[in-house]
Structure 1
Amino acid sequence: MSFLNLSHLEKSFGANRVVKDFNLAVEKGEFISLLGPSGCGKTTVLRMVAGFEVPTSGGIVIDGQDVTGLKANQRNIGMMFQAYALFPNLTVAENVAFGLKVKGVAKDRRDARVAEMLRLIGLPEMGGRYPFQLSGGQQQRVALARALAPSPRVLLLDEPLSALDAKVRVSLRNEIREIQRELGITTIFVTHDQEEALSMSDRVVVMNGGIAEQVGAPFEVYNRPATRFVATFVGTLNIFDGKVTGPETAEVAGVPVRLAEPVAVAQGARLSLALRPEAVHLGRKEGAEVVLPAVIQGVEFLGSIIRVRAEVAGSVVALDTFNRSDAPPPAIGTQAEVSLSGRDLIVLQD
């Protein structure tokens, strides 16, 4: 049996079903992200696991114990919030020790655990400071230490990085993941930021309208989305109109291609095919089945990547190419060619 099991969870607020038949099995030490747009139910799932919301139906089992009917303070769960929620009148050390003090841990053991946690988050000399004397990133580290200090069975992270600037977010998410791996703590992370979810997680749960549309490793979710929503929500897509010509073949812009997987659609039927920007190549690529004329419409410099927008067969297609100092990007308005392979096409399903 998995360490954390959510079985047929449902949550309704009046007539509004926010979470619908949600099922998830999490292994011990696994890092799971709940990813989706605002209002999809991901935070409600987290709050039910924490004990802040009571499920309308369904069950929650942690390490073999049914905790569905237990209060939040009976579940031994650590929670890190979007707002830092540090006590402004307590020092850093006192904030970290708060949960231990509530549990009645002796002072000498509290002090030792606080010192251990401050070393873990890289702030060993800041125990005597107050929250207002820390940067946003440092405050979040303290919030993480406070959540971890009582040695919880499960760590819950509710969009903890959204209030930080981009550079600090990247640094802190790496630190959180390293600490999580070091401690081996089972973790559920809620975010609407796909880059965070894909870069940090063992598995990603993509939610929409209260249901889990796909659960899988980041590589699977990105490269083989199970539904149209997952395909369009995770990453950038180019969408082509295609026609089925056989069990594993289709026609795109009049050119026959072999798809990576069979399609359960009748021959001659129209279907939508998607392609990630990195799978579209500027110029002729060896082995590409489709080469189409294009006109450059726009160029966006993104550092290591240059995103080019080109008009292809009446549609605007985005493609990514690596930035090279010896190869400047194409000029807007110039004629070009783009190439692609059928194996990279994603069949979009509802």
Structure 2
Amino acid sequence: MTFLTLNHLQKSFGATQVVHDFNMSIDKGEFVSFLGPSGCGKTTVLRMVAGFETPSAGSIVIDGQDQTSLKPNKRNIGMVFQAYALFPNMDVFDNVAFGLKIAGLPKAEIEDRVKEMLDMIHLGHLAERFPYQLSGGQQQRVALARALAPKPQVLLLDEPLSALDAKIRVSLREEIRQIQQQLGITTVFVTHDQEEALSISDRIVVMNAGKADQIGTPFEIYNRPATRFVASFVGTLNVLDAVVVDPIQRILKLGDTTLTINEDIRAAAGATIQIAMRPESGTLCAIDGATFVGKVTSSQFLGSVIRTRIEVAGKSVSFDSFNDPGVKPPTIGEIVGITIDPSGLILLAD
């Protein structure tokens, strides 16, 4: 059931248009991430939903009510910022209670709600501490509790984890997702980190130059990118030139190797096109029967994964394989075989 609708949103700052005709419907309880590089418009869309920016055109509808012209304090929205934005002169309890006090709730109800929120983020024992006495991860948890305390219709998170170290980011993103699912709150999460978006989202919006290049599940975005930008931005990608042998039979030639792929080829025989494959689409194998044979140019042991770069068809290509304690990683200069799964080959669109 559609709960948040963004209709033909546009935003210009002077002569510069930063959001172009953005459209999306988000279901109640859905977790959607806006993913893209700096300057792509993702935060501007979020700020328009929050009411901090006024759309140059288009509308924002929440639960059937047009919110486009409402001020931020008139929208039932919770917001978590990158820089926490806690009140330094208030302790944890009062920070979480702030929105409830503004709403004029009775003191007993405020105390119960704040206790519930602090228990949810496991910081009840720190209720009397001030922000400067907390770690970055703890401050962000308090910011999340403050945003959720008034029971908003929609939760917005603007790169809330980017200021934290890697280990804390992973644990906190999992906690955010768990809390979101527990409360069933419709959530929009802005990030430039593809791993974050892939790991916690129901759907991802990949933004490029103010437009949504693709909207889909993490599985769809990663495995079936709709544009060249999405394919290159999300995940590691190998790009190779291929010559079309038979478009009807879906036959291509890469270097000296002929392959049959699963996707339709929209190019004439003899045309050169580009195909892409993820590092995990290839498997190291014996030279006999291999799809490609190449020389190892680098081999990185990353723990659970071994990343090998191999010279294939005149290009250096990355392949990932799981660590096998009984098999030594390839060595630089070694000639190895690679088997390619045709379902992992992606035809790149413009």
TM-score (norm 1): 0.97
Query: Distance in 2 between the 1:32 and 1:120 partners?
Result: 22
Q: Secondary structure at the match of 1:125?
A: helix
Q: Which amino acid aligns with 2:125?
A: E
* Alignment of 1:265 onto 2:267: yes
Q: Is the 8 A contact 1:258 1:343 kept in 2?
A: no
Q: Is the 8 A contact 2:93 2:127 kept in 1?
A: yes
Q: Which amino acid aligns with 1:42?
A: K
Q: Is the 8 A contact 1:253 1:313 kept in 2?
A: yes
Q: Is the 8 A contact 2:254 2:313 kept in 1?
A: no
Give the structure 2 partner of residue 301 of structure 1: 301
Q: Secondary structure at the match of 1:3?
A: strand
Give the structure 2 partner of residue 206 of structure 1: 206
Query: Distance in 2 between the 1:93 and 1:260 partners?
Result: 57
Give the structure 2 partner of residue 122 of structure 1: 122
Query: Distance in 1 between the 2:252 and 2:342 partners?
Result: 8
Give the structure 1 partner of residue 19 of structure 2: 19
Q: Which amino acid aligns with 1:91?
A: D
Query: Quick check: 292-301 or 200-209, which moved more?
Result: 292-301
Q: Which amino acid aligns with 2:258?
A: P
Query: Distance in 2 between the 1:135 and 1:19 partners?
Result: 35
* Alignment of 1:329 onto 2:329: yes
State the Cα deviation string for residues 104-145 of structure 1 (Å, max 9, x = none): 111111111000000111112111111111111111110000
Q: Which amino acid aligns with 2:180?
A: Q
Query: Distance in 1 between the 2:93 and 2:170 partners?
Result: 25
TM-score (norm 2): 0.97
Q: Which amino acid aligns with 2:111?
A: D
Query: Distance in 2 between the 1:73 and 1:285 partners?
Result: 66
Deviation at 1:250, TM superposition (A): 1.9
Quickly say closer, same or farther: Cα 1:228–1:5, change in 2 above 3 A.
same
Query: Distance in 2 between the 1:260 and 1:284 partners?
Result: 24
Query: Which structure 2 residues correspond to residues 1-350 of structure 1 after superposition, within 5 A?
Result: 2-244=2-244, 245-247=246-248, 248-284=250-286, 291-350=291-350
State the Cα deviation string for residues 310-338 of structure 1 (Å, max 9, x = none): 11121101000111222221111112112
For structure 1, the 5+ residue unaligned runs are none
Q: Which amino acid aligns with 1:36?
A: G
Q: Secondary structure at the match of 1:87?
A: coil
State the Cα deviation string for residues 272-313 of structure 1 (Å, max 9, x = none): 000000011112499x8x622211111122221111111112
Query: Distance in 2 between the 1:284 and 1:204 partners?
Result: 39
Q: Is the 8 A contact 1:284 1:291 kept in 2?
A: no
Q: Is the 8 A contact 2:156 2:188 kept in 1?
A: yes
Aligned-pair Cα RMSD in Å:
1.4
Deviation at 1:269, TM superposition (A): 1.6
Q: Is the 8 A contact 1:214 1:221 kept in 2?
A: yes
Q: Secondary structure at the match of 1:303?
A: coil
Q: Secondary structure at the match of 2:299?
A: strand
Query: Distance in 1 between the 2:294 and 2:232 partners?
Result: 23
Q: Which amino acid aligns with 1:158?
A: D
Query: Distance in 2 between the 1:92 and 1:205 partners?
Result: 34
Q: Is the 8 A contact 2:79 2:157 kept in 1?
A: yes
Query: Distance in 1 between the 2:132 and 2:284 partners?
Result: 51
Q: Secondary structure at the match of 2:197?
A: helix
Deviation at 1:101, TM superposition (A): 0.9
Q: Is the 8 A contact 2:287 2:337 kept in 1?
A: no
Query: Distance in 2 between the 1:7 and 1:266 partners?
Result: 39
Q: Secondary structure at the match of 1:104?
A: coil
For structure 2, the 5+ residue unaligned runs are none
State the Cα deviation string for residues 224-255 of structure 1 (Å, max 9, x = none): 00000000000001111112222333222232
Query: Distance in 1 between the 2:64 and 2:32 partners?
Result: 19
Q: Which amino acid aligns with 2:90?
A: L
Query: Distance in 1 between the 2:205 and 2:251 partners?
Result: 30
